[in-house]
């Protein structure tokens, strides 16, 4: 029987911290009159909560149940925002042990709610962690755990987070539903990395086990998910809380036992379960010892067959051969030729009497009554075993490239020769293998045909995996909210791709500037270095969303610092409508010049007065921060038109007669008198035609 404990079993970081704080709180309050509580059970493990209760740590379900001035520990699941207000009203001393990963989710949803997003939490609506998260966005979040829940979400602008203990598969399913519904979704994968690791190691252990035991509290969500995962890969899986419910009879029947434990399971309980199984194994081992003794007696009477691998003890060494006691009626002989010796090595240098040695049987009778053995043939077998093992485990071996052949090269691993196709020598295109001759390369075994002595290697697989590791290291070093330097690599109609240390992230056109852009190249250049903020990361799809405008405050949030009513500004015309023109004060901040504020005269076609792209000077008439509107006037920056009054005519008796040639004709007087009226009622009184002028001028000519 073998017992294997999955990696990442037992207390996670958050649970360790809350348990540690609980122990410290109990120690600090020993002998004091004040009460100590946790709001709901500290962790989902009754054994732990019962132990803490005996030490004086009670359990309440809301602040109003606690005595004024007492100590209350906030468990790792966290509490709603309202909890802290109620605790303050009762003068409670709070020991906040909220898991830092949960605390981050609470902050994310509060900020997103303030930005106008509808919050969606993927998880169990009755789970205390989810209830706490919802309490940080006014309890208005949608909690979804299946496609039907997701389809019921009617809002279009969504902010998606996850309960830290759900499976990655469920989270991806929910994302797919929203994307199919064409929702605008900002995704934050808040599944705890420790949870992912715990679930993965549980799966791997279950695959290699005959029986799987999951240790955890009956109320523990993450323990239940471990059970579901283990059950999927090992049908013989049991969920227990402690050794009392361990199925010993079932354990006895199996050779490979796997164990995984939830994040709320103490190390003490895990050790008790393993110790109980080990004792059972020891008892079974004693029963088998007699059987093993009988097997040894039977083995001593049997001679090994040709091709069999045997173990023995060296009883005689010379430079010509080695004699080996095989524990049967005949001794084994290994001639010098059946060893692989280097340089001036002698058998007496390598072996001495009493050494253990392993060899392969060539003949059961060498003619002198001995069994002929070979160390060299065994080594070749061992090398083939290593090759086959590397194939099964997808591991790498080091092979030396010795010569070029048609379509590739020959590479040797120890005494096994293999073929590397030209396409598998590099992760880049090559047409010659000269540079690789004589080099030792790490390779993956991709195909083995031992009967025909054929092996195929791939160096490209090694390079690809190394590159993937580097990419993963970069992923692990990045977090949502980080500000990183990137290089603009290429443009699309919908944004720009930015290289951030080996990974490409999408800088969507809407995240480049607070203003509107028709194409990203209006604000960026290929090769330009930019400081970008990581908005979201999707490790499963390998996608990163970036933002550039977030490095500057949104213009409307600081408008009072830069603009006031009455201020004269300079801006660019960005859009013309029938009712007015929009002027860009700065990216993300536009003002409207109503058609009546273009000029002092009546304007019927704005395009006759101004054009898109033109820089204009305007006066701020009004700033409406609630509706995010700015009213501007161009005419307020212009000089108003001036009109001269007509000079009064001189008295008739004093007026000197004008020479005939200087007197204005009636037609001219008519035109002069009509001019001011034409300016005032420009569109109502049309200018006189040439015929009308001639008709009016005719009487004057008759008088002359």
Q: DSSP letter string over 642-690? A: --PPPPPPPPTTTPPPPPGGGSPPHHHHHHHHHHHHHHHTTTTSPPPPH
Rounded Cα gap, residues 345 and 421, in angstroms: 37
- Confidence category of residue 222, pLDDT binned at 50, 70, 90: confident
CA neighbor of 194 nearest in space, from 282, 275, 263: 263
Taking each helix axis from N to C end, the angle separating 221-233 and 193-207, rounded to the nearest 10 degrees, works out to 30
Q: How many alpha carbons lie under 13 Å from residue 567 in its C-beta half-sphere? A: 16
Rounded Cα gap, residues 407 and 431, in angstroms: 9
> pLDDT tens digit string along 152-202?
998 888 999 999 888 888 888 999 888 888 778 899 988 887 777 888 889
Tokens 């420009």 identify what position? 682
Least confident of 222-231, 383-392, 429-438, 668-677: 668-677
Start-to-end CA distance of the chain, whole Å, equals: 139
- Confidence category of residue 65, pLDDT binned at 50, 70, 90: confident
CATH no., domain 309-379: 2.40.50.140
Question: How is the chain split into domains, by residue range?
Answer: 13-100, 101-191, 309-379, 394-466, 478-551, 555-637, 665-703
User: How far is CA 164 from each of CA 83, 157, 204, 498, 569, rounded to the nearest angstrom?
Assistant: 21, 23, 21, 30, 51
Least confident of 306-320, 573-587, 641-655: 641-655
Residues 6+ apart with CB under 8 A from 110: 81, 136, 137
Are 505 and 497 in contact by the 8 Å Cβ rule? The answer is yes
- Residue 497's H or E segment, with its range, is strand 495-499
Which has the higher per-residue pLDDT, 682 or 386?
Answer: 386
Look at the domain 13-100 and name its fold. Answer: Rossmann fold (3.40.50)
Rounded Cα gap, residues 96 and 108, in angstroms: 18
Look at the domain 478-551 and name its fold. Answer: OB fold (Dihydrolipoamide Acetyltransferase, E2P) (2.40.50)
CB-CB neighbours of 25 under 10 Å: 22
The token duo for 334 is 């290994």
- Confidence category of residue 302, pLDDT binned at 50, 70, 90: low
Q: Determine the average pLDDT of the residues in 327-356.
A: 84
The token duo for 305 is 């067959």
- Confidence category of residue 288, pLDDT binned at 50, 70, 90: low
Rounded Cα gap, residues 185 and 183, in angstroms: 6
The token duo for 655 is 């007026």
Residue 308 reports pLDDT greater than 70: yes
pLDDT at 284: 60
Which has the higher per-residue pLDDT, 195 or 120?
Answer: 120
Distance of CA 607 to the CA centre of its chain: 49
pLDDT at 647: 41
pLDDT at 31: 67
Between CA 113 and CA 120, with CA 119 as vertex, the angle to 5 degrees is 170
Kindly name the residue from 79, 129, 321, 379 that is annotated as catalytic. 129
Residue 679 reports pLDDT greater than 70: no
Do the domains 309-379 and 478-551 sit in the same CATH topology, yes or no?
Answer: yes
129 is catalytic: yes
| Sheet-wide strand order for 2-5 | 2-5, 256-261, 211-215, 237-240
Rounded Cα gap, residues 373 and 362, in angstroms: 5
Rounded Cα gap, residues 571 and 223, in angstroms: 61
Q: Say which CATH class 555-637 falls into.
A: mainly beta
Alpha helices, DSSP H only, in 425-558?
459-477
Residue 560 reports pLDDT greater than 50: yes
pLDDT at 291: 52
pLDDT at 660: 36
* Helix (H/G/I), strand (E/B), else coil: 435: helix
pLDDT at 281: 66
Q: Confirm whether pTM is higher than 0.85.
A: no
DSSP 141: -
Are 163 and 130 in contact by the 8 Å Cβ rule? The answer is yes
Selection from 264-273, 425-434, 630-639 with the highest mean pLDDT: 630-639
Are 142 and 119 in contact by the 8 Å Cβ rule? The answer is yes
Rounded Cα gap, residues 518 and 581, in angstroms: 19
> pLDDT tens digit string along 135-151?
999 999 999 999 999 99
Q: Say which CATH class 394-466 falls into.
A: mainly beta
Using the CB atoms, write b or e for 224-245: b if 16+ within 10 Å: bbbbebbbebbebbbbbbbeee
- Confidence category of residue 458, pLDDT binned at 50, 70, 90: very high
Selection from 354-358, 423-427, 630-634 with the highest mean pLDDT: 630-634
- Confidence category of residue 327, pLDDT binned at 50, 70, 90: confident
DSSP 560: H
Mean pLDDT of the chain: 82
Q: Say which CATH class 101-191 falls into.
A: alpha beta
| DSSP code per residue over 364-422 | S--SSSSEEEEHHHHHHHHHHHHHHHHHHHT-EEEEEEEEEETTEEEEEETTEEEEEEG
> pLDDT tens digit string along 523-549?
899 999 999 999 998 877 878 999 998
């Amino acid at each position: 029987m073998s017992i294997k404990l999955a990696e990442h079993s037992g207390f996670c970081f958050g649970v360790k911290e809350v348990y540690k704080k609980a122990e410290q709180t109990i120690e600090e309050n020993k002998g004091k009159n004040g009460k100590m509580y946790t709001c709901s059970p500290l962790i989902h493990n009754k054994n732990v909560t019962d132990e803490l209760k005996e030490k004086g740590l009670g359990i309440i379900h809301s602040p109003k149940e606690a005595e004024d001035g007492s100590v209350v520990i906030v468990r790792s699941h966290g509490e709603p925002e309202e909890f802290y207000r109620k605790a303050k009203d009762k003068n409670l001393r709070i020991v906040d042990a909220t898991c830092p990963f949960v605390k981050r989710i609470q902050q994310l949803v509060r900020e997103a709610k303030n930005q106008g997003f509808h919050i969606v939490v993927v998880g169990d609506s009755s789970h205390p962690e989810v209830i706490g998260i919802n309490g940080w966005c006014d309890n208005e979040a949608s909690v979804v755990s299946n496609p039907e829940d997701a389809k019921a979400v009617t809002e279009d602008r969504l902010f998606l987070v996850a309960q830290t203990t759900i499976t990655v598969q469920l989270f991806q399913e929910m994302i797919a539903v929203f994307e199919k519904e064409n929702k605008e979704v900002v995704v934050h994968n808040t599944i705890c990395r420790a949870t992912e690791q715990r679930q993965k190691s549980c799966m791997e252990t279950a695959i290699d086990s005959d029986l799987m035991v999951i240790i955890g509290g009956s109320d523990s969500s993450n323990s239940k998910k471990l059970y579901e995962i283990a059950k999927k890969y090992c049908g013989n899986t049991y969920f227990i809380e402690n050794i009392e419910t361990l199925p010993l009879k079932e354990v006895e029947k199996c050779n490979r036992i796997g164990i995984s434990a939830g994040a709320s399971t103490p190390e003490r309980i895990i050790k008790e379960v393993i110790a109980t199984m080990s004792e059972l194994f020891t008892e079974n081992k004693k029963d088998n010892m007699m059987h093993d003794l009988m097997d040894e007696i039977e083995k001593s009477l049997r001679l090994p067959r040709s091709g069999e691998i045997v173990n023995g003890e060296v009883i005689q060494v010379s430079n010509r051969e080695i004699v080996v006691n095989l524990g049967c009626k005949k001794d084994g002989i290994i001639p010098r030729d059946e060893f692989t010796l280097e340089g001036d090595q002698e058998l007496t240098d390598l072996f001495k009497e009493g050494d253990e040695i392993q060899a392969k049987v060539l003949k059961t009778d060498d003619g002198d009554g001995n069994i002929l053995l070979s160390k060299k043939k065994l080594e070749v077998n061992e090398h083939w075993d290593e090759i086959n093992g590397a194939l099964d485990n997808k591991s790498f071996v080091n092979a030396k490239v010795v010569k070029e052949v048609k379509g590739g090269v020959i590479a040797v691993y120890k005494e096994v020769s293999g073929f590397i196709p030209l396409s598998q020598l590099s992760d880049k295109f090559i047409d010659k293998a000269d540079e690789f001759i004589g080099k030792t390369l790490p390779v993956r075994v991709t195909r083995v045909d031992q009967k025909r002595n054929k092996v195929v290697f791939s160096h490209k697989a090694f390079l690809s995996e190394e590159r993937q590791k580097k990419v993963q290291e970069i992923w692990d070093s990045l977090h949502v909210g980080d500000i990183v330097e990137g290089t603009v690599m290429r443009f699309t109609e919908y944004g720009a791709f930015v290289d951030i240390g080996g990974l490409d992230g999408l800088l969507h056109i809407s995240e480049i500037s607070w203003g509107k852009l028709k194409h990203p190249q209006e604000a960026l250049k290929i090769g330009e270095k930019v400081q970008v903020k990581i908005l979201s990361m999707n490790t499963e799809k390998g996608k990163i969303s970036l933002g550039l405008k977030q490095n500057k405050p949104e213009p409307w949030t600081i408008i009072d610092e830069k603009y006031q009513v009455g201020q004269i500004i300079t801006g660019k015309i960005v859009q013309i409508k029938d009712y007015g023109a929009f002027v860009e004060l700065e990216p993300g901040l536009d003002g409207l010049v109503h058609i009546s504020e273009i000029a002092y005269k009546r304007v019927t076609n704005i395009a006759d007065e101004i054009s898109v792209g033109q820089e204009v000077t305007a006066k701020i008439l009004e700033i409406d921060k609630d509706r995010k509107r700015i009213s501007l006037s161009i005419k307020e920056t212009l000089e108003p038109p001036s009109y001269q009054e007509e000079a009064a005519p001189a008295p008739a008796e004093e007026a000197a007669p004008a020479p005939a040639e200087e007197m204005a004709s009636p037609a001219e007087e008519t035109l002069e008198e009509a001019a001011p009226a034409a300016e005032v009622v420009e569109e109502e009184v049309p200018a006189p035609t040439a015929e009308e002028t001639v008709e009016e001028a005719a009487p004057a000519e008759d008088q002359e």
